[in-house]
Amino acid sequence: MSRQDDNPAIPARKTAETGDVAPDVRREAALLKTGALQDAIFNSANFSSIATDEKGVIQLFNVGAERMLGYTALEVIDKITPADISDPQEVVARAQELSIELATPIQPGFEALVFKASRGIEDIYELTYIRKNGSRFPAVVSVTALRDAQSGIIGYLLIGTDNTARKQAEAERQLLSQRLCDQRFYTRFLTESSMDALLTTDSPGMITDVNQQMASLVGYSRDELIGTPFKKYFTDLDRAEAGIKQVLSGSRITGYELTARARDGKETVVSCNATTFHDCDSKLQGVFLTARDVTELKRVERALQENNIELERARAAVEKASLAKSDFLAGMSHDLRAPLNTILGFAQLIDSDIPPPTLAQTASVEQILRSGWYLLELINEIVDLSEMESGKLALSMEPTSLTEVLRECQAIIVPQGRKRGIKMTFPPSGISYFVNADRTRLKQVLISLLSNAIKYNRLNGTVVVDCAKSTSASTPERIRVSIGDTGAGLSPDMLPQLFQPFNRLGRERSAEEGTGIGLVMSKRLVELMGGAIGVESTVGSGSVFWFELNAAAEPRLEIDGAPSAIVEVPVRLGAPVRSTVLYVEDNPANLELIRQIVERSPHIRLLTAVDGPEGIRLARSKQPDVILMDINLPGMSGIEALKILHADPVIAHIPVIALSANAMTGDIEKGLKAGFFRYLSKPIKMKEFMETLEVALEFAALGRGH
């Protein structure tokens, strides 16, 4: 063959006779093509091609093998066998498996990798390759024995592919399959654990699945129910079918009552809820329905209906009694406060008169005031107790500074203690405590307990007030207030009677005044505020009354970066303009009392009216700065008069202060809601009255300035 014949670029020669390509040329071309194909395979980066001699020593290590395993050809050729880059445990396991399979001992190592191929058996297996850096990856290996012309084995060819992606896919499929299996089990578990009967139907209303509760309800097995019409198991077939159709039309049903009929004829009233369910492609699959046995509930409802008339009568009787009690207390409070206002008012005037009263008169006035204020306290406590019992007492719960309230109580109560030589100790002001409470009611509780600690103490005794965080682990964080005295103490049999209304534990005949309501009020107020109250006492040593309230965070002003603004209200006292106050009151004694109080303020001129119409007429003609209004006026109430005043644009701006003996919480709330500027209850306190009047006059002055 010439040089030209070896060159594939030289056109193939043709015979002169036929023009066909010569046979030797065709063979040459086929060999060249086969060689090119082999080169492409051995140089492919996607397959690891490893060729060994007959002993297994690597002789060829292609580009794909280098990429997959991280070795260069020079590092492995004539140095190691494929067994050296395979997982040794898997090689041992393969040797054991083949030994059993082929009934011949096979040694672990390279022999285990090529044994089948050496016997002419096609061999493709999976094993783990180990890279140069020690990392591992699963591979699929195809092994072929390389033979010479005499069929003698001269080596082996191992072609491997990275099986990582397939392994991951298989693992994900297995995981998904396991999850689906778990989900089916979980769904079945939920279905069977339901106390309600559950079933599903297809669109035509045939049952596709049920739980055991449904099977038990109708007395058929699950297999018997599946594939049968849903409506078949209910007494009213049309209603059952209508329910399914309603759901399929897009309206879920709730509380749809049907009567199920069991195989043995037993009927059970069930309340059904149903909705449609769809597959993952949002294709309608059918209806999911739950049926709850309400037979017992129906029986109870019938029993309740039978007793409803009697219960309604009892409720009406209770409401009537409660209303009568409230009306009685409101009337009693008003009827007692009206004369008490006159008594205390004139007693205060006499006590502060110039020139002052004589010593004998002062002593008499003190007795009048003491008895009057005591009577007022009794009225207030009875009213408060009644409101609490009827649930009408409203509390304004908010974070409250216990430290500040104690300081206010200290200023009030210490002078009372001094009169009996009692030394009082309060917590240091440096520690700040906040509780969730109604500030007014918290102060009421503290004053009551502190007054008792003084009242029932010995002369020259001590009262110790302490505050601390409660250490109870069973309740939220609380603040405990303890008030200890050095009185006579209480015996164990007296402690259970402490918080009973009007029970003074035998002190009724003592010189100490008391109503027997204070502790009851304190207990109920503390409990209404979410707290607890108690006492620890030792006969001869004294008692420690305590109460706990839930701790609260100190309120903080949220500042958004803008500078704070301070609004100063100009002081009206001393202004040259004389103010006019109109007082509408039908009681002459009350009119005289206010007249004498106002006479002490030369900058105020007083006008009076004895009924609503006269007050409205004077308001329109004189246009006073402030109006004082009694509530219970003849013919027209103070609230009705207020509405007329507010409806007149000329005088609607005038602040109107309610001054009434109606001191129930509901009365005060009603008055403020009606639009009164302030609401003062009788008997009035001079300081509170004058401060409120000055605030109203300042408000009126600001209105005139605009």
CA dist., res. 337 & res. 379, Å (int):
8
> What's the CATH number for 43-162?
3.30.450.20
Q: Which amino acid is at 63?
A: V
CA dist., res. 199 & res. 270, Å (int):
13
Tens of pLDDT, residues 511-532:
555 556 778 888 888 998 899 9
Q: Is the pLDDT of residue 400 over 80?
A: yes
Tens of pLDDT, residues 326-371:
666 556 666 666 677 777 778 788 877 778 888 887 888 787 877 7
Q: Give the residue, 186 or 455, on which the prediction is more confident.
A: 455
Q: Which residues, in sequence order, are bridge partners of residue 168?
A: none
Q: What is the pLDDT of residue 501?
A: 57
Residue percentage of the chain with pLDDT more than 90: 34
Q: Give the residue, 397 or 209, on which the prediction is more confident.
A: 209
Beta strands in 108-194 (DSSP E): 123-130, 136-147, 153-162
Q: What is the pLDDT of residue 575?
A: 44
The CB density around residue 42, as the number of other CB atoms within 10 Å, is: 18
Q: Which residues, in sequence order, are bridge partners of residue 86?
A: 129
Q: Give the residue, 672 or 191, on which the prediction is more confident.
A: 672
Q: What is the pLDDT of residue 364?
A: 82
Q: Give the residue, 699 or 280, on which the prediction is more confident.
A: 699
Q: What is the pLDDT of residue 549?
A: 94
CA dist., res. 368 & res. 386, Å (int):
27
CA dist., res. 426 & res. 610, Å (int):
50
Closest CA to 534 of 472, 461, 473, 455: 472
Q: Is the pLDDT of residue 198 over 60?
A: yes
Map out the domains of the chain as residue ranges.
Answer: 43-162, 194-293, 306-377, 394-550, 579-705
Residue 3 phi/psi, 5-degree rounding, is -60, -35
CA dist., res. 124 & res. 468, Å (int):
82
Under the banding of pLDDT at 50, 70 and 90, the label for residue 593 is: confident
Q: Which amino acid is at 303?
A: A
CA dist., res. 350 & res. 181, Å (int):
95
Distances (CA, A) of 446 to 134, 318, 432, 487: 79, 34, 17, 18
Q: Is the pLDDT of residue 502 over 60?
A: no
Q: What is the pLDDT of residue 27?
A: 66
Q: Which residue has the tokens 């065709």?
A: 26
Asked if residue 555 lies in contact with residue 588, where contact means CB atoms within 8 angstroms, the answer is no
Q: What is the pLDDT of residue 105?
A: 93
Q: Give the residue, 86 or 389, on which the prediction is more confident.
A: 86
Q: Is the pLDDT of residue 482 over 90?
A: yes
Q: Is the pLDDT of residue 13 over 50?
A: no
Q: Give the residue, 470 or 24, on which the prediction is more confident.
A: 470
Under the banding of pLDDT at 50, 70 and 90, the label for residue 386 is: low
Under the banding of pLDDT at 50, 70 and 90, the label for residue 40 is: low
CA dist., res. 170 & res. 165, Å (int):
9
Tens of pLDDT, residues 424-437:
999 987 788 889 88
- Coil, helix or strand for 536? strand
User: Average pLDDT in the 230-249 region?
Assistant: 90
User: Average pLDDT in the 400-405 region?
Assistant: 86
Q: What is this structure's pTM?
A: 0.38
CA dist., res. 48 & res. 139, Å (int):
10
Taking the CA atoms of the chain, what radius of gyration do you get in angstroms? 51
Give the pairing of strands 626-629 and 123-130.
unpaired
Q: Which two tokens stand for residue 304?
A: 């309740």
CATH superfamily name and code, 579-705? Response regulator (3.40.50.2300)
Asked if residue 81 lies in contact with residue 56, where contact means CB atoms within 8 angstroms, the answer is yes
Q: What is the dihedral of CA 306, 310, 313, 315, to 10 degrees?
A: -90
Give the pairing of strands 532-538 and 542-550.
antiparallel
Window from 247-261, 492-506, 555-569 with minimum mean pLDDT: 555-569
Q: What is the pLDDT of residue 5?
A: 46
Asked if residue 80 lies in contact with residue 113, where contact means CB atoms within 8 angstroms, the answer is no
Closest CA to 195 of 182, 209, 207, 211: 211
Asked if residue 647 lies in contact with residue 665, where contact means CB atoms within 8 angstroms, the answer is no
Under the banding of pLDDT at 50, 70 and 90, the label for residue 308 is: confident
Q: Which two tokens stand for residue 31?
A: 């060999």
What is the chain's mean pLDDT, rounded? Answer: 81
CA dist., res. 613 & res. 640, Å (int):
10
Closest CA to 531 of 393, 391, 448, 435: 435
Q: What is the pLDDT of residue 75?
A: 93
Q: Is the pLDDT of residue 568 over 50?
A: no
CATH superfamily name and code, 194-293? PAS domain (3.30.450.20)
> Is 73 buried (19+), middle (13-18) or exposed (0-12) by CB count in 10 A?
middle
Q: Is the pLDDT of residue 324 over 50?
A: yes
Could you give the angle at which helices 295-351 and 588-599 cross, rounded to 10 degrees?
A: 60
Beta strands in 444-514 (DSSP E): 462-469, 478-485
Q: Give the residue, 365 or 53, on which the prediction is more confident.
A: 53
Q: Give the residue, 318 or 488, on which the prediction is more confident.
A: 488
Q: What is the DSSP letter of 19?
A: -
The CB density around residue 129, as the number of other CB atoms within 10 Å, is: 22
Q: What is the pLDDT of residue 504?
A: 47
Window from 290-299, 642-651, 667-676 with minimum mean pLDDT: 290-299
Q: Which two tokens stand for residue 349?
A: 């005037």
Q: What is the pLDDT of residue 369?
A: 75
Q: What is the DSSP letter of 12?
A: P
CATH topology of domain 394-550: Heat Shock Protein 90 (3.30.565)
Distances (CA, A) of 306 to 301, 302, 311, 312, 313: 9, 6, 10, 11, 13
Q: Which residues, in sequence order, are bridge partners of residue 273?
A: 290
CA dist., res. 123 & res. 112, Å (int):
11
Q: Which residues, in sequence order, are bridge partners of residue 399?
A: 436
Q: What is the pLDDT of residue 571?
A: 37
Contacts of 478 (CB under 8 A, 6+ apart): 469, 470, 472, 531, 548, 549, 550, 551
- Coil, helix or strand for 79? coil
Closest CA to 407 of 429, 422, 423, 391: 429
Tens of pLDDT, residues 165-180:
788 888 788 888 888 7
Under the banding of pLDDT at 50, 70 and 90, the label for residue 6 is: very low
Q: Which residues, in sequence order, are bridge partners of residue 627?
A: 582, 656
Tens of pLDDT, residues 55-66:
999 999 999 899
User: Average pLDDT in the 559-580 region?
Assistant: 44
Under the banding of pLDDT at 50, 70 and 90, the label for residue 562 is: very low
User: Average pLDDT in the 560-583 region?
Assistant: 50
Under the banding of pLDDT at 50, 70 and 90, the label for residue 653 is: very high
Question: Is it true that 43-162 and 194-293 share their CATH fold?
Answer: yes
Q: Which amino acid is at 254?
A: T
Indicate the helix (H) or strand (E) that contains 499.
none
Give the pairing of strands 656-660 and 678-681.
parallel
CA dist., res. 417 & res. 396, Å (int):
30
CA dist., res. 91 & res. 84, Å (int):
10
Under the banding of pLDDT at 50, 70 and 90, the label for residue 53 is: very high
CA dist., res. 438 & res. 697, Å (int):
29
CA dist., res. 241 & res. 59, Å (int):
80
Under the banding of pLDDT at 50, 70 and 90, the label for residue 471 is: low
Distances (CA, A) of 513 to 386, 413, 542, 698: 21, 16, 20, 41
Under the banding of pLDDT at 50, 70 and 90, the label for residue 299 is: confident
Residue 59 phi/psi, 5-degree rounding, is -115, -25
> Is 51 buried (19+), middle (13-18) or exposed (0-12) by CB count in 10 A?
buried
